[in-house]
């Protein structure tokens, strides 16, 4: 059951978007989010939607899996929609229910806000769906490179992220093993109140932590044996390089922000 957990949900593929430099994709995502927040009218929202659908189409990620990924957001989306629907003044009154009024302006705001959240989330999904965790980490390390001058431990952070990603499956496997061992000795994880079930997990967490520390110790020794001395003087096997497609993509991203800004200025 624990095996089903996946992080980042990377869909291996070979589309143009998959092959873009991770840095390009990160920058594009930021540009896209900025454009989304700049957008303010039907036309600009339409533009963003077309762009998003276009990207999903090119990446060949099935639309279904993006929709499935948004399930946990249903409550937030409904909540936002209702709030905006009832608490926006202005425009013609469409419906009146006791103290609640729905106006045309409220309807418009509700649609925009819900659309914004959905498009924002699907845009970021597209990033994690098309970029493997390791290249995402590489991209982040490279983009945050200038922060090293401000003494931000950029290399250490990305190394930590990389090791965390590496050990997630190992630790999940270990948790499964410990839980089976406890079950074999009569532990009960499935029945009882939430509090009881939470208490039953303590005997699982203790050995898990102990073994995680032991693993960390061994890993540290193994890394030292392989001459690890931190980020200074380290080289990389795979160098990140911008190609022609990356420049095109970044150009499109810039146009998107500019377009959204111009449209917003005219209130479209």
Partner 1 sequence: MENIISAEHLRFAYPGLDGAPGVTVFEDLSLQVEAGSFVAVLGTNGCGKSTLAKHFNSILLPSGGKVYVCGMDTADEDRLMAVRRAVGMVFQNPDNQIVANVVEEDVAFGPENLGVASPEIRRRVDQALRQVGMYEYREHAPHLLSGGQKQRIAIAGILAMEPKCIVLDEPTAMLDPRGRKDVIDTVKKLNREKGITIVLITHHMEEAAEAQRVVVLHKGKIAADGTPKEVFRQVELLHSIGLAAPETVELCNELNGRGAGLPLDAISPEECAQALYDWVKA
Residue 49 CA to residue 260 CA, distance in Å, equals 12
Residue placing its CB nearer to partner 1 in the complex, 120 or 157: 157
Q: Does 239 bind partner 1 (CB under 8 A)?
A: yes
Residue 252 CA to residue 134 CA, distance in Å, equals 26
Q: How many CB atoms lie within 10 A of CB 25?
A: 22
Q: Does 7 bind partner 1 (CB under 8 A)?
A: no
Nearest to 134 by CA among 256, 236, 254, 4: 236
**Of the ranges 61-69, 114-122, 143-151, 221-229, which one interacts with partner 1 (CB under 8 A)?**
221-229
Residue placing its CB nearer to partner 1 in the complex, 99 or 227: 227
Residue placing its CB nearer to partner 1 in the complex, 92 or 238: 238
Nearest to 261 by CA among 100, 22, 43: 43
With H, G, I as helix, E, B as strand and everything else as coil, classify residue 95. Answer: strand
Contact 40, 267 (CB under 8 A): yes
Q: Count residues contacting partner 1 (CB under 8 A)?
A: 29
Among 72, 186, 233, 267, binds partner 1 (CB under 8 A): 233
Binding pattern for the stretch 153-192 against partner 1, x by CB under 8 A and - elsewhere = ---------xx-xx--xx--x-------------------
Residue appearing with tokens 């705001």: 109
The distance in angstroms from the start CA to the end CA of the chain is: 49
Q: Does 218 bind partner 1 (CB under 8 A)?
A: yes
**Of the ranges 59-67, 99-107, 132-140, 141-149, which one interacts with partner 1 (CB under 8 A)?**
132-140
Among 97, 184, 202, 227, binds partner 1 (CB under 8 A): 227
How many Cα atoms sit within 13 Å of 241 on the Cβ side? 6
Positions touching partner 1 (CB under 8 A) are: 132-134, 162-163, 165-166, 169-170, 173, 215, 218-219, 221-229, 233-239
């Amino acid at each position: 059951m624990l095996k089903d957990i996946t992080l980042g949900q990377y869909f291996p593929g070979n589309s143009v978007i998959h092959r873009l430099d991770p840095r390009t994709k990160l920058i594009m995502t930021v540009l896209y989010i900025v454009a989304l927040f700049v957008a303010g009218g039907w036309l600009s929202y339409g533009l963003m939607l077309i762009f998003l659908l276009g990207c999903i189409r090119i990446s060949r990620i099935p639309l279904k899996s993006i929709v499935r990924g948004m399930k946990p957001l249903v409550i937030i989306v409904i909540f936002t929609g209702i709030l905006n629907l009832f608490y926006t003044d202005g425009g013609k009154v469409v419906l009146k229910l006791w103290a609640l009024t729905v106006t045309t302006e409220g309807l418009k705001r509700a649609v925009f806000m819900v659309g914004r959240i959905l498009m924002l989330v699907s845009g970021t999904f597209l990033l994690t769906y098309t970029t493997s965790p390791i290249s995402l980490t590489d991209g982040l390390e490279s983009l945050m490179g200038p922060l090293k001058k401000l003494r931000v431990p950029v290399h250490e952070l990305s190394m930590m992220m990389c090791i965390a990603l590496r050990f997630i499956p190992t630790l999940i496997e270990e948790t499964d093993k410990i839980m089976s061992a406890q079950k074999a000795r009569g532990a009960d994880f499935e029945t009882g109140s939430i509090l009881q079930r939470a208490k039953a997990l303590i005997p699982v967490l203790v050995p898990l932590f102990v073994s995680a520390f032991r693993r960390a110790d061994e890993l540290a020794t193994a890394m030292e044996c392989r001459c690890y001395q931190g980020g200074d003087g380290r080289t990389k096997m795979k160098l990140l390089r911008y190609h022609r497609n990356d420049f095109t993509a970044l150009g499109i991203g810039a146009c998107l922000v500019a377009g959204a800004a111009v449209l917003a200025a005219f209130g479209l």
